[in-house]
Amino acid sequence: MARNDTPESVAGKSSQTVGRPLAGRSAIVTGSTSGIGLGIAQSLARAGCNVVLNGFGEAEAIERERAKIAGDFDVKAMFNPADLSNPVAILEMIEAATKELGQVDVLVNNAGIQYTSPIEAFPPERWDAVIAINLSSNFHAIRAVIPQMRERNWGRIVNIASAHGLVASVEKAAYVAAKHGVIGLTKVVALETATTPITCNAICPGWVLTPLVERQIAERAARENISIDQARLDLLADKQPSGHFATPEQIGAMTVFLCSEAAAEIRGAALPVDGGWTAQ
């Protein structure tokens, strides 16, 4: 099959339902039981893609989300609890997804953790944990899934980096180092797959309104004895010139676009969705 003869172009429009451009595809989205990852999984499913959820949380809540995705979007949805600090668990997750869904066409590396501290007081074990989940897990997952993407001559890898993959902030040594590393890894994979219908790109969100960020806003309001609205504005004013949060749905829509034929020649890009944060 020639480079431009993707399964989409060969099958033609008859294989695609209007509004479901990823019908028949299957995706793994790490860190997808809430927040940005869940928004991405929902967006992919809306586009017709089978999805594998991954992450931590209450079993009943995760099952509700899995069942809702499957029911709302008429796709297969499964959950895998792989601990992404464990390379063996990552490999087993990809093997399980391949067995259950037949293939993994789309890999979204979204899982991440944070720890803040001045570097001289930064606990080495926290550094290791952040690097393992935010960076090394991306490498292990990509390494495991690329062979089957090459065999089928199509694939999409989307790494969720961060505005902190492009610029730095104080007291975030491990997070900033990991996210810069994700963008470097993205570029290497994009070059190594440049002559194939496999693409690899990174999305770099700024502040996104997730349950985790909402908790940060509430904590800031309580700490500074200000209103929730003022705490929200103050948080954004620190970094995000637009004064508005991005949303998980917007990150999901960007991911779906990067999986489309329109994005076939976007390769190795680091795409900010940050309200102007990195334009400063």
**In the annotation, is 115 catalytic?**
no
The active-site residue, picked from 73, 79, 154, 175, is: 175
* Sign of the CA dihedral running 58, 64, 70, 76: positive
**What is the bridge-based pairing of β-strands 155-160 and 106-109?**
parallel
Indicate the SS3 state at residue 194: coil
Q: Are 198 and 173 in contact (CB under 8 A)?
A: no
Q: What are the tokens at 233?
A: 């504005």
Contacts of 97 (CB under 8 A, 6+ apart): 26, 28, 52, 78, 80, 104
Residue type, 33: T
The CB-based long-range contact list for 130-135 (8 Å cut-off, 24+ gap) reads: 130/174, 130/175, 130/178, 131/174, 131/177, 131/178, 131/181, 132/84, 132/85, 133/84, 133/85, 134/174, 134/175, 134/178, 134/179, 134/182, 135/177, 135/178, 135/179, 135/181, 135/182, 135/185
- Report the half-sphere exposure of 237 (CA within 13 A, side-chain side): 6
Reduced to 3 states (helix: H, G, I; strand: E, B; else coil), residue 63 is helix
Give a three-class secondary structure readout of 134-178: HHHHHHHHHHHHHHHHHHHCCEEEEEECCHHHCCCCCCCHHHHHH
Decide if 272 contacts 206 (C-beta within 8 A): yes
- Cα 87 from chain centre: 18
Residues catalogued as catalytic: 175
